[in-house]
Amino acid sequence: MTKPRVHIATDHAGMELSAHLVSHLTAKGYDVVDHGPTEYDALDDYPSFCINAGLAVVADQEAGVHALGIVLGGSGNGEQIAANKVKGVRAALAWNLSTAKLAREHNDANVVAVGGRQHSVEEATELIEAFLAEPFSNDERHVRRIGKIAAYENTGEIVE
């Protein structure tokens, strides 16, 4: 499988980690698109950055481009919530290797959220790499469940 295009966004608390990841992932052969911010502002409003990254992931996927996203913050919670407002995004908060891998394997998450203040740069990098490398299992039960989530997202109807 080819490496995905990676869309990344952050708030001020994740800027150092974001800069590291852009450099690190680019050196590993990923096509990384940075959705900002471009300069530190302790009062920044991260939702626009994370929503733009989510929109780009979905647009790439709809165009047949293998793409995933990364959203970073102090905890990653707000960034995950913002990204999940984009139709077609399945953003998962990863806090250990298991959650990073299971987000892809079971949930086919297309965006990972990580808290820059919760992990060392090395730990966060390991989580991101695990997420990017893990394939979706395509197991029928997971496909069925994701389909039910998508049905609700698209129609507002809960499928039993």
Q: Indicate which residues carry an active-site annotation.
A: 79, 106
Of the candidates 43, 33, 112, 102, which has an alpha carbon nearest to the alpha carbon of residue 72?
Answer: 112
Which ranges of 28-159 does DSSP label H, i.e. alpha helix?
Answer: 47-62, 77-84, 97-105, 121-133, 140-155
DSSP state of 138: -
Q: d(Cα 46, Cα 49) in Å, to the nearest integer?
A: 5
Q: In the structure encoding, which two tokens stand for residue 18, read together?
A: 């974001």
Amino acid in the structure at residue 1: M
Residue type, 91: A
Q: Which residue has the tokens 């608390």?
A: 13
CA atoms 146, 63, 112, 137: torsion sign: positive
